Amino acid sequence: MKTLSLGLDFGTSNTACSLFDGSKEIDLGRICAPSPSALYFFSESDKAPLSGRGAVSEYYSGKSKGRLLLGIKSLLSDASFEETTIFGEEYTCSQLISILLHRVRADVEAKTGQPIERVVLGRPVRFAGDNDELALERLKLAARLAGFKKIDFEFEPVAAALSVDGLDYGGIGVVCDLGGGTSDFTVVKMPSGPSVSGALEREEVLGTAGFGEAGNRIDGDFVYEKICPLLGRDSTFSSWGTTKNMPPQIHVRFSDKERVPFLKSEGMLDLVKRIAHTSDSPDQLRLMEEILERNLGHRIHKSAESVKIGIETEGAAEFHEHFNSGSIDVGISKGDYYKFIEGYTKKVRSSLENLVDDCGLQLSDIDSVLMTGGTSLLRPVNVLMSELFPSAHVIGDRVFDRVAYGLGRIASNS
């Protein structure tokens, strides 16, 4: 029996994989297609957690009591996150991630009827949180716990670059992989003719760079700047006759998508309840209390994401969420939204300028730009690319599964 090797892109928002038989990709349908990097734990501990699409739909169906975890990849480099208790069970970060990776492995094995022991996993150039050593160690442990025996890593933007056939475009290329948690870049030299596999070779990579922020941070900043002021962020309360400001950690953590499910167990709900009695904005705190109590924080982040995605189709976008204790309504114009994400596009610009410079090149030396990852769909990012590389050929297809495709190709070639 032939040993198959899996390419697995465990992303902050979505997970996708690909499997090759020689140089041909094996079509595994929905198993390999991008699905949310989500876990759902039922409050009844005898029910096994759900992962992927099933996890998200269970949470939004409201049919069961449970907890949805999103963005768990961002926890990898958080040294303060050692373990968490979910309905009485303790989990380390690696154990949580292994549930998701194991599900993928088991599904691929069931579909192919063959054991999958080798995996090439994607890794960002810089993990969100920037503690790369810890993150890699934890990710490797997660893969081992998921049953993989031989585990290799490849930079995500390099995998994206290696997914492209050298003949498709020539000269020097830049790859921008802008995802949910991280923004990653690589500069590659395209071969002048076809390579043996038809794909770019690893030696053609001239340099990599990246930073630990992307689409989720944009949504989190929107939540912090536009929604949190309606949830008591700037309120005061009295304590023993003195007026105090709202403790900042509540709203700072609430604005981090991956932190949302842990706020209740971290004592934030109790804190809000205590403060609400003497608050100058009791209605806002009661709303915050309800959101924390009923674990509805993900709905807020999801709506913030919908504003971002919807802003292109409409001239403006509305954030609207209704709860028992009140509603949140915020409108934003396209122009204001674009201003709002300027901080992010500036970081993308300086990362790219520095990387090209570090490779001993000028921006005008770049012949092609490969855009991948969901955040690459943002219009201001595309405008930036045409400013930086006005005459470059831009490729932007397979935004959500290009990295997985490249990883599968690498796995089958090594």
Ligand X SMILES: Nc1ncnc2c1ncn2[C@@H]1O[C@H](COP(=O)(O)OP(=O)(O)OP(=O)(O)O)[C@@H](O)[C@H]1O
**Binding footprint of ligand X on the chain (CB under 6 A):** 11-14, 37, 73, 156, 179-182, 214-216, 305, 308-309, 373-375, 377-378, 400
| Residue pair 291/323 in contact by the 8 Å Cβ criterion | yes
Q: Which tokens in the block code for residue 101? A: 């990776």
Bridge partner residues of 207 (DSSP): 187
The Cα angle at residue 369 between residues 368 and 375, in degrees rounded to 5: 170
**CB-based closest residue to Mg ion:** 179
Query: And the tokens for 122?
Result: 């994607």
Task: From the list ligand X, Mg ion, none, pick the one residue 308 interacts with, judged by a Cβ distance below 5 to 8 Å according to partner type.
Answer: ligand X
Nearer to ligand X, 188 or 341 (CB): 341
Q: Judged by CB under 5 A, does residue 129 bind Mg ion?
A: no
Tokens at 219, concatenated: 């949504």
Burial category of 241 from C-beta neighbours within 10 Å (exposed 0-12, middle 13-18, buried 19 and up): exposed
Interaction partner, residue 157 (Mg ion, ligand X, none; CB < 5-8 Å by kind): none
- β-bridge partners, 369: 174, 394
**Which window, 7-15, 82-90, 206-214, 236-244, contacts Mg ion (CB under 5 A)?**
7-15
In 3D space, the residue among 301, 333, 296 whose CA is nearest the CA of residue 318 turns out to be 333
CB of 47 to ligand X, least distance (A): 26
Q: Which amino acid, 170?
A: G
Q: How far is the CB of 42 from ligand X (least distance, A)?
A: 24
Joined tokens for residue 350: 């300086």
Neighbours of 33 (CB within 10 A): 16
Phi, psi of 179, rounded to the nearest 5 degrees? -105, -140
**Contact code string over 174-193 relative to Mg ion, x by CB under 5 A:** -----x--------------
232's contact among ligand X, Mg ion, none, with CB below 5 to 8 A by partner kind, is: none
Question: Considering the rule CB under 5 A, would residue 215 count as an interface residue with Mg ion?
Answer: no
**Residue 389's binding partner, choosing from ligand X, Mg ion, none, with beta-carbon cut-off 5 to 8 A by kind?**
none
Alpha carbons 238 and 236: distance in angstroms, whole number: 7
Q: Is 297 in the site for Mg ion (CB under 5 A)?
A: no
Task: Kindly state the smallest distance separating residue 244's Cβ from ligand X, in Å.
Answer: 35
CB neighbour class for 242 (10 Å; exposed up to 12, middle 13-18, buried from 19) = exposed
Nearer CB in complex with ligand X: 10/20: 10
Q: Which is nearer to ligand X, 56 or 378 (CB)?
A: 378
Q: How far is the CB of 5 from Mg ion (least distance, A)?
A: 20
CA 15 to chain centre: 9
Question: Nearer Cβ to Mg ion, position 34 or 232?
Answer: 34
| Under rule CB under 5 A, residue 66 binds Mg ion | no
- Cβ nearer to Mg ion, comparing 176 with 276: 176
49 vs 180, beta carbon nearer ligand X: 180
Residues forming the site for Mg ion (CB under 5 A): 11, 179
